[in-house]
Each structure stands twice: as C-alpha cells, then as structure tokens.
Chain A
Amino acid sequence: MEQALVVENLKKSYGKFEALHGISFEVAPGEIFALIGPNGAGKTTALRIVATILQPTSGTARVYGMDVQKDAARIREIISYLPEEAGAYKNLTGLGYLSFMAELFASDAAVQREYIQRASDITGLGERLRDKIGTYSKGMTRKLLLSRAVMTRPKLAVIDEPTSGLDVVAAIDIRESIRKTTSEGMAVLLSSHNMLEIEYLSDRVAIIDQGTIHDVGTPQGLKDKYGKANLEEVFVQVVKQ
C-alpha cells in the first residue's frame, strides 16, 4: 500500500544554522504519527516542509508519492495544515471563515455546503458560529480551526501543537476530535512537546531533538524498549544517549 508520507534524509538550513540534519520517517494512511521533542527541535520546520510552505535544503518528502517541491500544487489539494497557535480572521464570523476555506477547496456549491456542515458538526460551537471570531476564546478558535483542517477530508492532516495553550477540557475535546476524524482513513502528522498527549493520541512517534530523529516506534513499544513508565522518561533517556 502506498504510504501517506515518506520523508527521506530531509535537511533544512537557515543560513549557517541547520535546523534539520537529515530526518527520515514514514506515515501510513489512517495513521496518527507524532514528532515529539522540545521547542526548537525542528518539529515545526519538518511540518512546514510537508505542508509545502518551506522548501527543503536537501532530501525529499513525498505525500502519496508526490514530491513537496515539484508537485506542491497537487499536494495542497489533498492536505490540510494547522499551524501552532494559529489565529483566524477576526472580522469574519465562524461560519464566514468556514465558508471561505471550504470554497477554496470545494469544486462546487454542494460540496462547499457539505464541508461547512461537517465542520459545523465537529466544532460543536452551534449558534456561536454566527458570531465574529474576534469574540471567541482560544479554545473555541482552535476547535474552529481544527474543524476547518479536517472538513475537506484531507488525505493527510498536518497539525502543529494541536492543544498548545489550551486548558485541559479544551485540549481533551481537540484530542477526541482528532481521534474521531482519523477513523475515516485520514493520516495525521502532528507535533507536540506534550508527550503525555502524544501517548494518548498517536499510533507511532518519532523522538526528535536538535534536528535529528533519535528513535521511532509505537508509544508502548518505545516504553518497553527503554523500560520506562511514560514517553517523557523515554525522551530523556533517548536524548541523553
């Protein structure tokens, strides 16, 4: 079966600073794959390259066989990207925002309506969708953005720090939403420095630090391999080695 994402020896430099030192990993369709690591580890850079908004210095990233550099336009049709702590257009209503984003992806008005309906159901914001986004709490905005990211049923969703800055209740809501949407076959590449969250959400994780992937495996597999109780302890052990 064709992989949703294949990253091979991916490098990215900003001037003299090399943010990624040649990372490689694969994501299968329907799989939730997480990059875990501290701030500045290179997670966001990797995600931005997969989302086609940064170009790699060398190496390749292929989404369903398409190269992120050569086939960027085609990849953008089948992926969605949710940046860390992203905002939305404050002067638009929630519904206006969903309508705008749906129109960018939809082939006709019927499909657009279907996308909006799906997003409205996922957000759970009800009548508040008619209010301006400027009046939303951080959690509400994040729910809106997440629903936007999955409403088009992308083949690959790239989500950077899905619950960053959210309270516990909002964070659990978001995690549930991600879990539910992948049951339909969507692959998810996400990043987080919250390792407990990743342990709950992900099928497989890659431990990344200072631009290098140190290990890849299922949360349980990694815990067993290093004999640790949770992923945080695994991370510390792996990075120290």
Chain B
Amino acid sequence: MRRFFVVLKKELKEMLTWQTLIPILLIMVIYSFLGRVINQEQKKQAAPQPVTVVDLDRSQTSQMLAGILTNVNFKVTTVTEGIVDDIVRKVASERGTAVLVIPQGFEAGIQAQHPQKVQTYTIMRNFSLLGMQGTFRLDAALNAMNEYVSDMYIRAGAPGLDPTIVKHPISAQSFVTVGTTSAEGNPQEIVTVVMQQTMVIPIVLTLVIILAAQMIAASIAGEKENKTLETLLSTPVGRGALVTAKMMASGIVALVSAAAYMVGMKSYMGSLLGSGGGTTGTAALAIQKLGLVLDLRGYVLLGLSVFAGIMVALSIAVILGAFAEDLKSVQFIIMPLMMMVLLPYLITMFIDINTASLVLKWLIYAIPFSHPFLAAQYIFAQNFTMVALGIVYQFALFFVLAAVAARIFSTDRILTMKLNTAGRGSGLGGWTLQREGISFRIRHK
C-alpha cells in the first residue's frame, strides 16, 4: 500500500505540471469571462432601449402610442418635424438603435377604422444574437400598440364588453405531469430549469473522460517510450498497484480539471440559459412538487454513475495505452474511446431513448458512457431502477476491464503489444496490431 502511494504521488507530480494546469485555468477563465460578458450584455439589453418616435401626426392617439412604448421598456425621444431620412441618419450617427415613424393622418385613419401603417427603422451595427434582440422588441412594441387600438375599437363598438375577454375568451391552465404527480406550470419554463441543472453534466463528463483517457494513455505510452516503464516493472511495486495508481492519478487530475471547467461553465451556461432572470414562482413551486430538483439521493446516484463512467474510461484507456508505442500514437489509439463517449452524448441529446428502436436502444445501453448521460433524465422521471441497473452494468464492466488491464501489466504483453501506425499515410495504409511477433494488418480499401 505504501508503494502505491509513492507511485500515486509521482504520477500526480508528473501530471500536474504547468503544461497541464495552464490550459485548464485558461478554459476556466475564458468561460467565466464569456459568462460575465454575456451577462453584462443581457443587462444592457434589459435596460430601457432608446427609440426615436417621429410623430408627424402630432395627435392625441400618436402621443398615447409613445406612452405605450415607455410602458414596454423603451426610452422614447419624440421628434415632431423634419424629413424622415435625415432623422434616421441623425439617430444612427448618435448611436441610436430604432426609429418609429407615425405618419400624418394616423389618428384620423384609426378613428375611421382604416388600417394604418407605421414605419420602423432598426439601425443594425452588429449581427450577434444579443445585438439582434432590439429588432424583436420593436415587434413587441408594435403588438402593444395594436392591443391598445383594438381595445379602443372593441370599447367603441361594444360598450360594456371587456376587450380582454373578447380577444382571449379561452385561456389554458397548464399542468405538467411527471410520474404520478401533476403540478401547475409552464412546460417550457420547467424544461429550461431542468436543463439548467443537468446540461453541464454531459459536457463536463465528456471533457473529463476524454482528458483522463488521454492522460493515462499518454502516461503509459510516455513511460514505454522513455523505458521508465521497464524500470518500474522491475521494482518491487505490485503491477496492480502500478495500474491503480496511474488510474487514480489521472482520475484526480481529471476531476480537478472538471471542477475548474464546471466553475467556468456554470457562469457561461447560466448566462446562456438566463439563470440571472430566475424562474417564476409557479415554475419554482411546480419543480419542487414534481421532484425535478436533484436531492441527496439524486446526487448520489448521478455521482455514482459519473464516477463509474470515469472508471470504465480509465480502464479502457489503460488497455489502449498498452498498445501505444510512443506518445505520438496516443491520439490515434484513444480514438475508439472518444467515439464511444461522443456517440451517446450526441444520441441522448437528440433522441428520446424511450421511443428509439430496440436495436438503437440496446446499442445505447451497451455503451457504458450512455448511463451518466441518461441518469439525470431517469432520476427526474423517478425511474431509479434504470439508474441502478446502469450503475451495476458500469461497475461490472469496469471490474472486467480492470482485470484485463491488470493482466496485461502483469505479463510481458505490456512490453510486447503494440499498434504500429507507421503504415498510415503511406501507400500501405491501415494499421498493424503486433504482439510477440504476430501481426495483423488491416488495410484500407
């Protein structure tokens, strides 16, 4: 056991270098920075947006409309005379964003119940998602004006009738049902909150698995290339301890990286999903009632599934790393593992596992990395059996793979197995799996 910790300490020293830490810190800083920038931009967008109303009608109705714009969060500047093109140019030069032109005869037209046209000018300076939001809000302003005028018509045409009832005689009271529990709430809003809780998990998990796999495979390949592995294998350290120490060190470094990513991601994703705005009281109540909040049991199950996924990835990476002849071949060697991680990530993102075909469903279940991605969904759906089965499957697979990895290290296969990628890119193509002089060449056709 003492020797295990000696090797673990060495592995950590080897892995936790500035070369590994700087990219992790950079990603953390970049994501936090992006999150802050997006948040600030959203705050700017939430502030009253300036709009110049060119009121050529100068009537009571047109002034009323300017008042409505103030109510829907516009900062209105009214101009009552001048040539429209000149005014738009002036507003643009003063970094204004929108101009609304109310034509002459607007009030008379409204009173005569003739359709009226106002002109809107949106001054575009950037084409980012947030920058475009001003355009959409101008539509909201127009809707508010239409509401006001149509209310006016209803009141004039049918005194005593409530315009709201006339326009919206039917309204829905939305309920969301999860399992056997129902609660009042907007499904879209509830989905957004649930995503906020779980969206970071697959992204971070994918990063951790790929990072940890790369580290352990690179560690083994590097030791083989440097022949430090031969030295280590001839020391009194048990082979099992050697493999476990390498796996644990990669796991620790990967988890540290994951924590750093999560800090950065939390800020970034929070800003993307608009967590700053918070949820409405009804949605928050519904989420509580429906059990869509990860409680201790949920976190334990999810944590176990993620942990098992990482362990499976590490054991596969040890086996793949044993094939690597040098550091250069690591990237190529761990490609199958990366595919195995990315496939369920993409599939579970776009496909509902419950409605998938039987073959696809079993394919997804067979990939051990699908389970952490599916775990949160199952926990929220209160299908704890599926989560537990997934964890059991992952751990069973881990023990089998770890036994294979330990077996490789305890025999001379660790030194004699290699995947020769030298033929790649040459006329031969393909790759060769060599062990003890036996080679299989797989050629590209």
Contacts and interface: CB of A to CB of B under 8 A. Distances in A.
A81 B234 contact: yes
Contact of A89 (B14, B233, B238, B412): B14
Interface in B225-244: 225-228, 230-231, 233-238
A117 interface: no
Interface in B214-254: 225-228, 230-231, 233-238
B438 A76 contact: no
Given A80-B234, A86-B228, A88-B228, A17 B14 contact: no
Interface in A87-146: 87-89, 91-92, 96, 100-101, 103-105, 145
A16 B10 CA distance: 39
A53 B437 contact: no
A177 interface: no
Contacts of A51: 230, 234
A76 B412 contact: no
B6 interface: yes
A87 B326 CA distance: 13
Contacts of B438: 15-16
A96 B415 CA distance: 26
B230 A100 contact: no
Nearest to A49: B412
A92 B10 contact: yes
Interface string B192-225: 0000000000000000000000000000000001
B137 to A, nearest CB: 55
B85 interface: no
Contacts of B435: 15
A82 interface: yes
A161 to B, nearest CB: 11
A229 interface: no
Interface residues of A, number: 35
B233 A53 contact: yes
A77 B236 contact: yes
A84 B236 contact: no
A52 interface: yes
Contact of B230 (A13, A76, A83): A83
A194 to B, nearest CB: 19
A14 interface: yes
A83 B230 CA distance: 7
Contacts of A100: 6, 9-10
Nearest to A19: B437
Contacts of B228: 86-89
B3 interface: yes
Interface of B: 3, 6-7, 9-10, 13-14, 17, 225-228, 230-231, 233-238, 411-412, 415-416, 435-438
21 contacts: A14-B416, A15-B436, A15-B438, A16-B438, A48-B412, A53-B234, A55-B411, A73-B236, A76-B235, A81-B230, A83-B227, A83-B230, A86-B226, A87-B225, A87-B228, A89-B228, A91-B13, A92-B14, A100-B6, A104-B236, A158-B234
Given A15-B438, A158-B234, 18 more contacts: A14-B416, A15-B436, A16-B438, A48-B230, A53-B233, A53-B234, A53-B412, A76-B234, A77-B236, A80-B234, A84-B227, A86-B231, A88-B226, A89-B13, A89-B14, A92-B10, A104-B7, A145-B231
